[in-house]
């Protein structure tokens, strides 16, 4: 497995985690100050507060 480099961009950002040992991908976390409502068919940008370098 290739390492993925992560850079924290905002205070309060949470690093990605793997939910289980055999997980196919990592879980990302929203780095937001208030709840966001996403309506059907709507596209919303949700910041994670991190930058990933994809190998």
Give dist(CA 13, CA 41) in Å, integer: 27
Check residue 55 and give its pLDDT.
78
Task: State the average pLDDT over residues 1-29.
Answer: 92
pLDDT band at 54 (very low <50, low <70, confident <90, very high): confident
Domain residue limits at 15: 1-55
The band of 32, judged by pLDDT with boundaries at 50, 70 and 90, is: very high
Nearest to 32 by CA among 5, 10, 7: 10
CATH label of the domain that carries residue 41: 2.70.40.10
**The predicted structure's pLDDT at residue 20:** 95
Domain count, the chain: 1
- C-alpha separations of 8 from 15, 20, 43, 48 in Å: 8, 23, 24, 9
What average pLDDT score do residues 34-46 get?
A: 96
């Amino acid at each position: 497995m290739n390492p993925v480099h992560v850079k924290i961009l905002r205070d309060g950002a949470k690093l990605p985690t793997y939910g289980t040992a055999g997980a196919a991908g990592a879980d990302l976390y929203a780095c937001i100050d208030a709840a966001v409502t996403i309506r059907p068919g709507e596209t919303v940008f949700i910041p994670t507060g991190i930058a990933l370098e994809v190998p």
